[in-house]
Amino acid sequence: MSLLKKIRRYSVFYFVASLSLVFSVQAKVFDKDLLQEMAISYVAAQINISNDTQLDLSALPLDSRIPDRTCNTEPELLIPSDPPFNRQVTLQIKCNDAQSWAQYVHVRIVEMAPVVVTSTNLARGEIITSSHLTIEMKPTHFIRAQYLDDLKVLIGSRSKRNIRSGTPVLLNQICMVCKGDPVTIYANIKGLRVKTSGIALEDGILGEQINVKNKKTGKVLNARVDGVESVQVNI
């Protein structure tokens, strides 16, 4: 083999080898952003959530003085505790090769759930329609028991006070049956469902017991609110 061919062959070999070395090094560099993304993905995979909730995961910023890390093997990810996690969990990312480094990443966990909020200002006494409402995801630790997640329940009810746009709607802010309103009274009698008309003597929300007056008989009945301007009595 001529000297010229040997030089060309060695040149190609070293060129290819140098390319492989460059891409190998690049593939094993772990900067701060990548470490945080790895931590978030790992934590997310450990958590089971219900269909009506979602998670908002974020990593706390790492110290700007931390240099980029390199590792010849895939780093090991470790969490000291098992799910369910609190609102923050600390994860260790560890390189087990000759570099032998460990980086701790703090991941904040916020569970979100749907909440009915107003999409426009509501005036006191205003009848609520679908155009007044929307669904937003809110942190579950801020959600109160009176918050609603189904806007259909509120359609046709009435606001008992002024409610600002973007505010979650509380049950005590509305009445599905309002005092003085005409209501439909339902009753189950011997397997038959009958209805009559009445007048609400109190404000009421879904599931609440209120007094209503039967228009035909004038009798006052204790009834359970089961919808907008609708109540049910047990006979």
pLDDT digits (tens, 9 = 90+) for 141-163: 888 877 888 888 889 899 999 99
CA distance 99 to 28: 11
Give the Å distances, CA to CA, from 34 to 90, 176, 222.
16, 52, 63
Residues paired with 106 in a beta bridge: 90
Phi, psi of 62 (to 5 degrees): -85, 155
What is the tens place of the pLDDT at every residue in 101-145?
A: 999 999 999 989 899 999 999 999 999 999 999 999 999 888 887
CA distance 37 to 4: 50
CA distance 146 to 208: 13
Q: pLDDT grade, residue 47 (50/70/90)?
A: confident
Q: How many CB atoms lie within 10 A of CB 32?
A: 18
3-class SS of residue 18 = helix
Q: Give the pTM.
A: 0.62
CA distance 144 to 148: 9
